[in-house]
Structure 1
Amino acid sequence: MFKKGKTDLLEIKSIHELPGRIRFHCEALYYIREFNEEILNSLLSTNMIKKASINNITKNMLIYYDNTKLDKKDLIKIISEILSNYTMFAYKQKRKEDSKDIVTREREEDVKDIGKRLIINTSLIGYSCLKNNHIINTNLPIYNRFLNIPALGALYLTKSLFKDGIGGLIKNKRPNADTLTISSIIASILVGNSSSALTIILLSDIAEFMTSYTMKKTRDSIAHMMNLNDDFVWKKYEDGSVKKVLVENIKEGDKVVVHTGEKICVDGVVLSGEAVVDQSAVTGEYMPDIKKIGSEVFSGSLVKNGNIIVDTKRAGDNTVVSRIINMVENAPYNKAQIQDYADKFSNYLVPFNFLLAGATYLATKSFTRALNMMVIDYSCGIKLSTAAAFSATINNAVKQGILIKGGNYIEAMAEADTLILDKTGTLTEGRPEVLDIITVSDVDYKEVLALSAAAEETSNHPMAKAILSKCATEGIDIAHHGETLTHVSKGMETTVNEDIIRVGNKSYLQENNVDTDILENKSEELIKQGQSVIYVSKNDKLMGIIGIQDKMRDNMKKSLNNLRYQGIDEVLLLTGDLKEQASIVAKKMGVDDYEGELLPEDKAKSVLKLQSKNSKVIMVGDGINDAPALAYADVGISLGCGCTDAAIETSDITIQSDDPMALPAIMSLSKNTMKVVRQNFGIVIGINTLGLVFSAAGALPVFWGAVLHNSSTIFVVSNSIRLLFANVSNVRK
């Protein structure tokens, strides 16, 4: 009902052709206009293309070519290859354009404020009944109809609507739902039925209360999940004194002292001291990290042992945890396509109510029937039918350790047909161990281990931890080393006694002129056994190789089968590991296709390539090298306790557990949510259409028209609240 047709951004269509002359249409041309000259030069460099021009507004390209040497299919292939170089840029620009259409956040009231209004309203309705004010009295002068207690109370209770209702009418030159509500309340008072006005407000507030309560529960669940309870911190002053102050008074540059058992409430850098810090609430990292001078720390982390002084870099709402909480708090307003269309559709219906009211009055000369046309409207129920459902689902997910950052990702999850998986830490547990160490002649395996540990000491990569763990169990001291350099998806580099130590994959060492052939056969044997091979070199000499194997996640294959059952047509594996290693894992997991030795940008391009074919893509990853792909996917999911903060920041859904069955659980919850949204549309449209028909016929009084309309709103909110208690744990067993 509210869906757009899918658009293939890179699809090239012939719209008009003559011999040697053809006009193509491609959506991407609109977004890459600054590269027109480059594109035309590339086309004209082909001898068989004589002339070319681009119209970015119409998204058309006119080509003159030698049709004796080139047919249309070959021409399309040439253009596709040239335009594919601008895929990333085109999608970036498209997303910027799309973001301009996002509907801004609706007015939201506090649960306590709505509760107070409900009490006042109930009291006024009770008073009205005692004084028989619920009986329509058209004999009173118009000004007196506004001066009785129920009427004044109704106007007081609607004061919050006037700003949005009247202000929106002036600003947008179009009435909105609040304008309609105010008009129906004033019209009710005008006909001497202030009780109807109070009833409209009462039932509307009940629906608003239920929606706000759902959002409050979501916030409370997030706060409990992140476990942020500290109100005070220890601040160190210039004179060396330390005093307890409110967290809200801390600003950038302040020095904060954190002791054993206390939470870190700011983002910053350790100035002095050393501590073991549990930062699982923020990064999902299952292992506590040792923080030393110069280490970065995050708000929400817990000091398990030790004392540190932190130089504050970000405080309050700017911290990593606050940004995460803010993203999830605002998730229901990060609107899904269906929610955005529902809001726009409902706003377009508001003028229809005014026109219908006017037409009814002209046809029947009955002010009461005309009033019913304004009392009964679709807009309220249609808006709440989506907002309440998405809010309830986000709350339910949070309780299960899953952060969903917007209702749009719930809809995208329900519609997804393609799943992309990273290998290390996603398909596997991310806790590998060293199985084999093979050295060149005259080199001791302990030296290889000590040197590799020196290069990997500062890395959080699971393979680095496997090497460090092996050193610890073997009682080998890590070699004293200099500064460490990270080459993403390639390896690590450091210095030991002025020797350059490199640890990484084969291609990385070969780039640095290290001969790896001497252990090539041994490396192939380890790979056939399913091990990942790490190469270790000193200067330009290969020292040895380390075989590391990561255990497959329990239930991962079961999770993938469940996802296929729910509508995922294609499952792909994209990894920075060797192709041979990727092949072994792909066979074990039964994925449809795989690619290995990919850089981060390669993964992102693979996502965009699939999207260009109209696939709805879910990307699941856990590391920094997954961040670009997570950001470009329709739904980016960071899975497991080993997720880096970069993955959490860029992903749309964060799963804090290691259980892969959470993936089909989210899919099930998302599909159930969209089912509830469709039910809600049916309830709202059905009940209100019935009410309008009976009201126009004069069979439904204004009071019962208000009851019928607001009941439909309460029904859809109640139907949505069921999602708060939806049990998806069975999927995860």
Structure 2
Amino acid sequence: MKQVPGVVDARVNFGASKITIVGKRLSPAEINRLGAFDDIRVVREDEERNAHFWLGNRQVRLTALSLGFLLLALLSQGLDAPSPLTIGLFLLATAVGGWETARKGFPGLLKLRFDMNTLMTVAVAGAVAIGYWEEAAVVAFLFGVSETLQAYTVDRARRSLKSLTEWAPREAVVLRGGKERVLPVEEVAIGDIMRVKPGEKLAMDGVVVAGRSTVNRAAITGESVPVPVEPGGEVFAGSINGEGALEVRVTKRAEDTTLARIIALVEEAQEQRAPTQAFVDRFAKYYTPAIILLAFGMALIPPLVFRASWLSSVYDALALLIVACPCALVVSTPVAVVSAIGNAAHRGVLIKGGLHLENLGSLKAIAFDKTGTLTRGQPVVAEIIPCGEVSELEALAIAAAMESRSEHPLARAIVERAREKNAPSKEAREFEAIPGLGARAVVDGKTYWIGSPRLFEEMGAPMEGIRPVLENQQRRGRTAVLLGDSREVAALFALADAVRDSAKQAISQLKRMGMEKTVMLTGDHAATARAVAGAVGVDEYRAELLPEGKVEAVKELENAYRRIGMVGDGINDAPALAVATTGIAMGGAGTDAALETADIVLMADDLSKLPFTVRLSRAALRIIKQNIAFSLITKFAAVYLVFPGWLTLWLAIFADMGATLLVTLNSLRLMRIRP
């Protein structure tokens, strides 16, 4: 497809059953003519959604037909029918059951590319060549059954992810020219007003402009309780509207909605190979040629050197080829990864690849940001204490003028309090942010500073008079913001931030699961940090950290514990999230930075999903190890049985098929893990 004029790029994602073409639009017929192989066909999404696996799969039909011929052959054998008839029926069962395998295996044989289909083709053809008609037919049929069941179980894992893509409606009711119009979501533009009736799904992301209701955001964030919305509230595509009619101004195009980005990231996550998968692929690369050489040796050396029977030696070599197929080993990791990522996505947790899934499962320590992670991140002004000649209302007006230029949660709390108190409006000029400390601006012709006590200490402002008040507020777990100039502190704003209800429970669960260390990292004062750390139950806290201080703290913890997770809001904590083994962002729904920065995103502001995600990751690691161990033990045990001549072709195919199916079914258990 890349060679077609006008096509810029083409990429196939097998995990998501999806092909992406950049540039010229190609029809499914053109794509199939150019690139279809191994009976993999491209269909339109609506056709694929309606296709039934058991009815639409050619392998299923051929395997069923093969079973029919095999039963007829066995019946013919039991009735002592003429030998040519019985042999003919066995050959028909072999040809029909092994057709798909041979069609894929012969080209590999010609190119010396020895995959599972090539090994099985050689084994079945060899069994026919030495006159083992019955074994050839049974092996061809059972391998067809194995391929069918494996395809079905993988299809189940894929469809659990694909159901996400079907969650958002494909049409939206939009107001244009004073009239309601039903439009495909691709034609809805930013700024359009969308009408959503009670009980309907939202087709686009947007902001409510009229109406009040509750929306169920479970598909996006995994939250089980509907969230109330009113004018000014943000809503997401795929959410279900509750009892009230809403009018929503569209803020993102269909391909940019939060749900569309989740789907894209989940599909990309499936393409990323987990470290274990990379090891398995490297192992299979050397293992398969080694087995082929061993089989050749078994077929040739005993007759030539020890004068053994050619027939029995070739038979043993064919049994070895079948049992040594690395089917179970190859599927041991990818099916587990897809199952775990799909389960997490359905519960509002976005894991961006097998690497991050494995890393999370092996974490020894987790660091948490305080504001917005362990606390609600919506502080309120609890108390204003004037310290000089400026009145409380005047101090509030000056502080609000300065903080209106900042996006910090503490700044928003001060601006909100000024609005509540109807403080006089003032303008801040020459505003300058001081990273990690505060800000400076000119208000009413006078230069003011606002920020942490550390800012004023570094400026050399006198702190003796205010220090007892400051320490009292900090002992109560409040954050102090000071306003003043270089000569004196004019006012102290005491802000309180409530601890999240889920924080203490989440940290307690992580400890019970064996997490060795939990640490809180904050830029806040030590006394405030101590109060919050005690409330949530973390092992350790580090306070008064600038952004680079958090990075250094994460590096120190990584040196001590090798693997460390960092949980933050994905904006202020981006450097620390990037440095940690696994960066985990809170509240990815509506936060682009969280979706981009972190390795794992908790779509809702819900820390209770963290223990679930760690448990899922550990279960995935455990199942991957079980699968690999079981695959290798089964293979080596069966290979050992070849040498005394105890391994029959029947037993070989049962061992191969059984191992593959057990590994796949074991992986699918990950889809049943719940918070």
Bin of the TM-score, shorter chain as denominator length: 0.7 to 0.9
- Where 1:620 maps in the other structure, the secondary structure is strand
Deviation at 1:526, TM superposition (A): 1.2
Question: Which residue of 2 is the match for residue 433 of structure 1?
Answer: 380
1:611 partner amino acid: E
> Contact conserved, 2:570 with 2:597, CA < 8 A, in 1?
no
**Alignment partner, residue 598 of structure 1:** 545
1:155 paired to 2:102: no
What amino acid maps onto 1:326 in structure 2? A
After the TM superposition, which residues 604-623 of structure 1 pair with which residues of structure 2 at under 5 Å, given as runs? 604-612=551-559, 615-623=562-570
Q: In structure 2, how many angstroms separate the alpha carbons of the residues matched to 1:121 and 1:706?
A: 18
| CA deviation after TM superposition for structure 1 residue 123, in Å | 2.2
Q: How does 1:40-439 map to 2 (within 5 A)?
A: 115=54, 116-132=57-73, 148=92, 151-152=95-96, 154-156=98-100, 159=103, 161=104, 166=107, 175-184=114-123, 187=126, 192=133, 193-220=136-163, 222=164, 228-233=167-172, 243-248=181-186, 256-259=192-195, 307=247, 310=250, 315-316=254-255, 318-362=256-300, 363=302, 365-366=310-311, 367-377=314-324, 379-439=326-386
Measured against aligned partners, the alpha-carbon deviations of 1:261-309 in whole angstroms (never above 9, x if no partner) come to 68775679x9x978999897768997869659xxx99766799987565
Deviations for 1:93-117, whole angstroms, at most 9, x for unmatched residues?
xxxxxxxxxx996796789575323
Q: Deviations over 1:586-623 (max 9, x none)?
A: 45555444332323343234323443456101111124
CA gap of 1:327–1:185, structure 2 versus 1, over 3 A, is: farther
**Cα distance between partner residues in 1 of 2:212 and 2:107:** 57
2:583 aligns to what SS in structure 1?
Answer: strand
Deviation of 1:463 (Å): 3.3
* Unmatched tracts of structure 2, length 5 or more: 1-11, 18-39, 41-47, 303-308
Are the structure 2 counterparts of residues 218 and 643 from structure 1 closer, same or farther at C-alpha, using a change threshold of 3 Å? same
> Separation in 2 of the partners of 1:477 and 1:185?
87
Q: Distance in 2 between matches of 1:244 and 1:495?
A: 53
Work out whether residues 427 and 553 of structure 1, in 8 Å CA contact, stay in contact via their aligned partners in 2: yes
Query: How far apart, CA to CA, are the structure 2 residues paired with 1:167 and 1:544?
Result: 79
- How far 1:128 moved relative to its partner? 1.3
Q: Which amino acid aligns with 1:359?
A: G
Please list the CA deviations of residues 40-74 of structure 1 after superposition, one character each: whole Å capped at 9, or x if unmatched.
xxxxxxxxxxxxxxxxxxxxxxxxxxxxxxxxxxx
Distance 1:585 1:387 in 2: 41
Judge conservation of contact 2:588–2:595 (CA < 8 Å) in 1: no
| Higher deviation after alignment, 148-157 or 617-626 | 148-157
How far apart, CA to CA, are the structure 2 residues paired with 1:563 and 1:705? 44
Give the Å deviation of 1:354. 1.3
Letter of the 2:358 partner, please give it.
E
**Is the 8 Å Cα contact of residues 69 and 89 (structure 2) preserved in structure 1?**
no
Query: What is the number of residues matched between the two proteins?
Result: 602
Aligned to 1:55: none
- Indicate the SS of the match to 1:443: coil
Match of 2:630 in 1: 683
Q: Over residues 137-188 of structure 1, what are the superposed CA-to-partner deviations in whole Å (9 max), with x where a residue is unaligned? A: 9x99xxx9999475156324665x46xx957995xx7534454345445556
Q: What TM-score, normalized by structure 2, do the two folds share? A: 0.74
Q: 2: distance between equivalents of 1:438 and 1:494?
A: 21
Taking the aligned partners of 2:73 and 2:406, their CA distance within structure 1 comes to: 77
**Residues 445-464 of structure 1, C-alpha deviations (whole Å, 9 max, x = no match):** 23434454455558665434
Map residues 552-567 of structure 1 onto 2, 5 A cutoff: 552-554=499-501, 556-567=503-514
Closer/same/farther in 2, CA of residues 145 and 129 from structure 1, 3 Å limit: closer
Q: Distance in 2 between matches of 1:267 and 1:236?
A: 16
Q: Distance in 1 between matches of 2:638 and 2:179?
A: 71
CA distance in 2, matches of 1:717, 1:264: 36
How far off its partner does 1:527 sit? 1.4
Larger deviation, residues 432-441 vs 514-523:
514-523
Q: Is the 8 A contact 2:386 2:490 kept in 1?
A: yes
1:358 deviates by 1.1
- In the alignment, residue 523 of structure 1 is paired with which amino acid? L
Overall identity of the aligned pairs, in %: 27
Distance in 2, matches of 1:145 and 1:691, equals 30
- The amino acid across from 2:171 in the alignment is F
In 2, the alpha carbon distance for the partners of 1:120 and 1:670 equals 38
Partner of 1:719: 666
- Counterparts in 2 of 1:306 and 1:601: CA distance versus 1, 3 Å: farther
2: CA distance, partners of 1:458 / 1:266? 31
AA in 2 matched with 1:321? L
The verdict on how the C-alpha distance between 1:476 and 1:383 changes in structure 2, with shifts beyond 3 A counting, is farther
Q: Would the alpha carbon gap of residues 156 and 569 (structure 1) be closer, same or farther in structure 2, given more than 3 Å must change?
A: closer
CA contact (8 A) 1:378 1:685 kept: no
How far residue 710 of structure 1 moved from its aligned partner, in angstroms, is 0.6
Residues 604, 321 of structure 1: CA spacing in aligned structure 2 closer, same or farther, 3 A cutoff?
farther
Distance 1:438 1:288, change over 3 A: farther
Alpha-carbon deviations, 1:402-456, whole Å to 9, x = none?
3322232232222211221111122223343322111234433234344544555
Cα pair 1:426 1:640 within 8 Å, conserved: no
Q: Is the 8 A contact 1:188 1:196 kept in 2?
A: no
Deviations 1:363-408 (A, max 9, x none): 3523333222222135211122222223333344344433322232
The whole-number CA distance in structure 1 between the counterparts of 2:626 and 2:639 is 20
Determine if contact 1:128/1:134 at 8 Å carries over to the other structure.
Answer: no
Query: In structure 2, how many angstroms separate the alpha carbons of the residues matched to 1:556 and 1:107?
Result: 35
> For residue 676 of structure 1, what is the amino acid of its counterpart?
I
Computed over aligned residues only, the root mean square deviation of the Cα atoms, in angstroms, reads 4.7
- The SS at the match of 2:273 is coil
Q: 3-state SS of the aligned residue for 2:545?
A: coil
Any idea what SS the aligned residue of 1:463 has?
Answer: helix
Counterpart position of 2:29: none
SS of the aligned residue for 2:514 comes to coil
C-alpha separation in 1, matches of 2:464 and 2:590: 35
User: Which is further off, 483-492 or 557-566?
Assistant: 483-492
* Contiguous gaps of at least 5 residues in structure 1: 1-102
Q: How far did 1:691 drift? A: 2.8
- Asked if the contact 1:274–1:308 (Cα under 8 Å) also holds between the matched residues in 2, the reply is yes
- Relative distance call for 1:260 and 1:359 in structure 2 (3 A) is same
TM-score, length-scaled by structure 1: 0.68
1:198-237 per-position Cα deviation (integer Å, ceiling 9, x unaligned): 32122122123112212322443x558xxx4221246799
Q: Is the 8 A contact 2:272 2:355 kept in 1?
A: yes
Question: Matched residues in 2 for 1:486 and 1:444: separation?
Answer: 25
Distance 1:167 1:355, change over 3 A: closer
Question: 1-side partners of 2:495 and 2:222: how far apart?
Answer: 23
Quickly say closer, same or farther: Cα 1:198–1:558, change in 2 above 3 A: same
Displacement of 1:547 in angstroms is 0.7
Match of 2:422 among 467, 471, 476: 476
Q: What secondary structure does 2:494 align onto?
A: strand
